[in-house]
Structure 1
Amino acid sequence: MTIHREGYKTIALTTLLVGLLNLSIFWFWGSSLMWLCSLILIITVGLWLFIISFFRIPTRQYTRGDDKVVSPCDGKVVVIEETTDPEYFKDKRIQVSIFMSPANVHVNRNPVSGNVVYNQYHKGKYLVAWHPKSSTENERHSVVIKTGNTEILVKQIAGALAKRIVNYLQVGEQVTQGEEMGFIKFGSRVDLLLPVGTQINVSLNEVVKGGVSIIATL
């Protein structure tokens, strides 16, 4: 396991704050309120460990396959439905949405290999990530990857806590399935928009792993 670069500043700041807070508390109240100082130490160290775990990158064997669409993130499948895409395709698509809790790995990965043909950031609201309107009203970043003759839209969506979406891709770039495409801080969601008729290999409430679980077969 390694730590993602997006977490370096956050972890450094958290380490400094936790250290200064506990040093101050033990300095002033260590002799008279040791139980309280110890309790605060346990709570703050627990928070520090949680922050570190949030930016973790676990070691995995990633799935590869030209006809496979792998999960772009860790989380739980919360939506599988036919919808109309108003942004890029302007027609009906199959939407698969994956909710990432704060405890999940939050690296986002390319679901397929191919060429980036569209990349657009949208300002928006911060509704909870499982809200039906979060796909169209929340802060989000949309990317379309063309693989063969098929185009797939990947939408990184901010949640109530996640207010910073990072996307590393550029239009014209050739990307590889399973490699990093971005990062979303804290609870958030990723939508996949697939062609109607695509074989979906997951079910509602199924837990998936980014770069490993096969969401669909083209």
Structure 2
Amino acid sequence: MRIAPGAGRYAVAATLAGLATARRLGRRAAVALGLLLAGAVLAFHRDPERTPPDSGAVAPADGVVSVVRTEEHDGDARVRVGIYMNAANVHVNRAPLAGRVEAVEHIAGGHRLAFSKESEHNERVHVDMARETGDYRVTLIAGAFARRIHPYVEAGQELERGDRIGHISFGSRADVLLPAGVTEADVLVEEGKATRAGETRIADI
């Protein structure tokens, strides 16, 4: 199976952490622990293929919908859909709609639990997307244990619906700020709904 870029160094670190227990557990047990930890890290960074539908905005992440709300953004009423990713989910994130990357912006912040209200102030990366029929934004948000957000895209790049845009190592949340004009009546998911990145339709656009 395909693995997200950069996962190898985390697997090596996990292996070394396991081997460091050799004095307490014995050599064989330490090797087994190191391999087990490395395998868990690689499984966490798995990157399966996905087949997007022909229409609609798709989920940017595997997980559970944690937020559906309307808020003001640059003078417009915009709908936000947030998806919380737990440790068992695939953590590679995908573009909800086709478009051109306008900007990729890193915002420093804390590392609170991604499903809490305080996560609004966590470290994040905004990926702003331009479309003829309405711009949108994907925000990748770090959590309490997620310390690395890895965007794959850069300004000027053209993306199709469901293309990979990045991954978050060790957890957290991905939000979509849908284009202006989209209302909550157009949203096809509700809080608690399970999603698959690049496949689950979250809004009828």
Q: Same fold (TM over 0.5)?
A: yes
Q: What is residue 217 of structure 1 aligned with on the other side?
A: 204
Check whether the contact 1:6–1:55 (CA below 8 A) recurs between aligned residues. no
- Aligned CA distance change for structure 1 residues 149 and 59 (closer, same or farther; 3 Å): closer
Q: What is residue 18 of structure 2 aligned with on the other side?
A: 18
Corresponding letter in the other structure for 1:5: P
- Aligned CA distance change for structure 1 residues 56 and 150 (closer, same or farther; 3 Å): same
Match of 2:182 among 197, 207, 213: 197
| 2:60 equivalent to 1:72 | yes
Q: What is residue 172 of structure 1 aligned with on the other side?
A: 156
Q: What is residue 93 of structure 1 aligned with on the other side?
A: 78
What is the deviation of 1:129?
Answer: 0.5
Check whether the contact 2:15–2:37 (CA below 8 A) recurs between aligned residues. no
Mapping for residues 35-54 of structure 1, pairs under 5 Å: 46-54=36-44
| 2:98 equivalent to 1:113 | yes
Q: Give the total of aligned pairs.
A: 202
Q: What is residue 154 of structure 1 aligned with on the other side?
A: 138
Aligned equivalents of 1:91, 1:114: Cα separation in 2: 20
- Aligned CA distance change for structure 1 residues 57 and 126 (closer, same or farther; 3 Å): same
TM-score (norm 2): 0.87
Aligned equivalents of 1:15, 1:44: Cα separation in 2: 4
Q: Could you say what secondary structure the match of 1:57 adopts?
A: coil
Check whether the contact 2:53–2:201 (CA below 8 A) recurs between aligned residues. no
RMSD: 2.3
Deviations, residues 28-72 of structure 1 (Å, cap 9, x unaligned): xxxxxxxxx86x777665434322210111243x1143x411111
Q: What is residue 72 of structure 2 aligned with on the other side?
A: 84
**Percent sequence identity over aligned pairs:** 31
Aligned equivalents of 2:103, 2:154: Cα separation in 1: 8
Check whether the contact 1:11–1:51 (CA below 8 A) recurs between aligned residues. yes
TM-score (norm 1): 0.83
